[in-house]
Amino acid sequence: MKLVTIVIEELARSTVERALQKIGVHGYTVFPVEGSGAKGQRIGDTPESGNLQFQIIAPEDRATELMEHARKELFPHFAVIVYETDVRVLRPEKF
């Protein structure tokens, strides 16, 4: 299985959620995050200026589709980081 992590601006939340549904992701975890990077520090003083981190566990083919979607549809419009990690999960049938 793959763990796809998406760190993106709060204002993109509904865009990401629609994409996950369209791709057929069965579930995800999302939480607010803070940090500093190429675009400076993002501390999330207000919800609309914060960042979210989505974590999605999916089979490799679905993870590849999700990453390709992010490259085409999210990168041009939002400050976003996407990465994938191999994971071993118990009860993989849930994903």
Give pTM, 2 decimals: 0.86
User: Residue 22 pLDDT more than 90?
Assistant: yes
Encode the chain in three state secondary structure.
CEEEEEEEEHHHHHHHHHHHHHHCCCCCEEEEECEEECCEEECCCCHHHCEEEEEEEECHHHHHHHHHHHHHHHCCCCCEEEEEEECCCCCHHHC
pLDDT digits (tens, 9 = 90+) for 32-85: 998 777 766 555 555 566 899 999 999 999 999 999 999 999 999 998 999 999
More confident residue, 59 or 26: 59
